[in-house]
Amino acid sequence: MGKSIRVTMSLVLLSTLVLYGCEAFMPRDTQSLLVPRLHRSEVFGLVAGFGTTFAGLPDLLGMLGRRSSAGMKPRMAAITGLFQIIWVEYGLLIASRPVIVWNTIAVLVNLLTVFAYLYFTHRERAATGVQR
């Protein structure tokens, strides 16, 4: 056996042993300590959803701070918002509160981004006298 094959096999064996030993870390109860009706998986979903939901917020805040649409591409916010509406529907189908809550908030953030872009581009065109 070549040296690289032995190293690879050793790493696979070591990884398997480590993963097998992680079984004790699996949660045994599915109820959250925060709210008895809230499952632990929903808590993780709420935390994970927070990050992805507010990913588009810096663009909106930057545009509002600059009071300009410069550098903004509303197409991305509109596409993301459309698919987040589908995620809300999916959340309703599977009755997942984190999916419903975070994607509803994300739809609103993206909607505000698109409306702010439209407002600022309209205002900028009116100020320069450019007709579309």
pLDDT digits (tens, 9 = 90+) for 74-121: 788 788 888 888 888 988 998 888 888 888 998 898 888 888 888 989
Cβ-contact 88, 100 below 8 angstroms: yes
C-alpha 38/C-alpha 8 separation (Å) is 43
- Which tokens in the block code for residue 129? 């006298």
Give the pLDDT of residue 83: 86
CB-based burial label for 106 (10 Å; 0-12, 13-18, 19+): buried
Look-up of token digits 């450019």 = 130
Question: E strand or H helix at 132, and its extent?
Answer: none
pTM (predicted TM-score): 0.59
| pLDDT at 32 > cutoff 80 | no
Q: With cut-offs at 50, 70 and 90, classify the pLDDT of residue 21.
A: low
Contact in structure between 89 and 100 (CB atoms under 8 Å):
no
Tokens of 15: 């990884």
**CATH code at 29-128:** 1.20.1280.290
Identify the sign of the CA torsion 97, 100, 103, 105: negative
